[in-house]
Chain A
Amino acid sequence: MNKKGVVIGVIIVAIIAGLAASYSSSPSETVNLDMGRTHGTISTAMGSPILGDTSAPLTIVEFGDYQCEQCYAWFHETKPAIVRDYIDTGKANLVFVDLAFLGRDSIPASMATYCAEDQGMYWEYHNILYNSQESIDNGWANSERLKAFAFSLDLDMELFESCLDSEKYSKRVQYNIQQAKANGVRGTPGFFIVGPNEQQQIGGAQPFSVFKQILDSMI
């Protein structure tokens, strides 16, 4: 009886030790992700937080790469007017989904945005990246610079560095890249305007007039 008890005890201890080891070696995502969040045919569960009113009738899903110069152009030329006329007025909201493919620093840059999200600063970090973009892989988005951006936002550096260095959000970014491919996105920036009953795809950094025409027709 005693022997049996020892064996059971050893098994329980082993299971507990195994669970503890698995949790400590692969950090799980602590953000409250809505795993069922979809917009049209796109699973945006692993994408950015929603910018704007979550109950807005239309959603703009942007697939982008932080090193893409066309995304930079869209961010500066078209997005401000969309935010002013559609997002700030509650007519639409926006979700950013990573299609990080251009260079070796693209994926770390995307991961860094989610490390900033852990501290409630996703969109601030996103904006810093698009305001700081330089040539592809010239070092502007290397690990040190990504940490410097976090420092400039006054983030908790210990938390941010451990998140970035452990590649905590690697799978999240990979999931987003898969979503882009599954939905036929073949370059950045790529957009879907998703309404209650339909969705429309827009490829490239198109001008505000194109977005306005589509958004107005779907409202």
Chain B
Amino acid sequence: MVQTIKLVYSNFKYVVLASTIFVSMMIGLLILSEYIFLEPYVVAHLPSGSELGFLLIVLLSALSALVIPMNIFRISVLKSSKQKMGGGIFGSIIGTAAGACSCGPVGFAVISTFGSVGATATAFLTNYEIPIRIIAIAILIITYFTTVKSLKVECKLNP
């Protein structure tokens, strides 16, 4: 497992990519979930009872930053199928959507645009935000292990 990570991240390009994904995803999710406000002042705020939500955002961002570059490595260096990228992207997207659609601007825009269908979707994503994020993290963990396994086979790494 360590060998596989070393193989991918020995290339500085993938370290930069992982850092970019982690920072942009985490800051984006913290803004969407209203842990960070940009106006009228830049301020971070963690309301009591929302510690688990914050922890899940950090985990989701870290796993996305780990898994997505590994899959890009497989596609670009080893010319593997692009379909195998699906798990990482899917996990990241559903994890992101869970927090985005609440009573903030994104939820308001979705409901204003799609009416009752948007309201139903928003209510679902808001009510089940924590379980959806946990599922997204589980998908990313599974994707990580399958990626490591296939990299070992494709790169003929010693176990």
Contacts and interface: CB of A to CB of B under 8 A. Distances in A.
Q: Do A and B bind each other?
A: yes
Contacts of B126: 69, 102, 135-136
Interface string B108-137: 110110000001001100110000000000
Interface stretch (A15-23, A29-37, A80-88, A196-204): A196-204
Interface stretch (B19-27, B36-44, B54-62, B70-78): B36-44
B138 to A, nearest CB: 22
Nearest to A206: B37
Which of under 10, 10 to 19, 20 to 34, or 35 or more describes the interface residues of A? 20 to 34
Given A103-B119, A136-B123, A206-B37, A187 B43 contact: no
Interface stretch (A3-11, A144-152, A168-176, A207-215): A207-215
Main secondary structure on A side of the interface with B = loop
Given A65-B103, A68-B103, A205-B47, A213 B41 contact: yes
B43 A203 contact: no
A203 B107 CA distance: 14
Interface in A91-131: 101-104
Nearest to B127: A135
Contact of A187 (B107, B119, B123): B107
Nearest to B106: A187
A73 B111 CA distance: 21
B83 interface: no
A25 interface: no
A77 B126 CA distance: 20
B45 A206 contact: yes
A201 to B, nearest CB: 8
Contact of B127 (A68, A138, A206): A138
A204 B34 contact: yes
A165 interface: no
Contacts of A206: 37, 43, 45
Given A102-B119, A137-B123, A202-B40, A71 B103 contact: yes
A70 interface: yes
Nearest to A214: B40
Interface of A: 65, 67-71, 73, 77, 101-104, 135-138, 186-189, 200-207, 209-210, 213-214
A214 B82 CA distance: 51
Nearest to A102: B103
A136 B108 contact: no
A77 B48 contact: yes
Contacts of B48: 77
A77 B45 CA distance: 11
A136 B127 contact: yes
Nearest to A71: B103
A102 B37 contact: no
Contacts of A214: 40
A110 to B, nearest CB: 14
B97 to A, nearest CB: 16
Contacts of B106: 187
A205 B40 contact: no
Given A103-B123, A138-B127, A187-B108, A210 B40 contact: yes
B102 interface: yes
B31 to A, nearest CB: 10
Contact of A69 (B45, B102, B109): B102
A207 B48 CA distance: 12
30 contacts: A65-B103, A67-B103, A68-B103, A69-B102, A70-B102, A73-B47, A73-B50, A77-B48, A101-B108, A101-B119, A102-B111, A102-B122, A102-B126, A135-B123, A136-B123, A186-B105, A186-B108, A186-B109, A187-B105, A187-B108, A203-B37, A203-B105, A204-B104, A205-B34, A205-B45, A205-B47, A206-B43, A206-B45, A210-B40, A214-B40
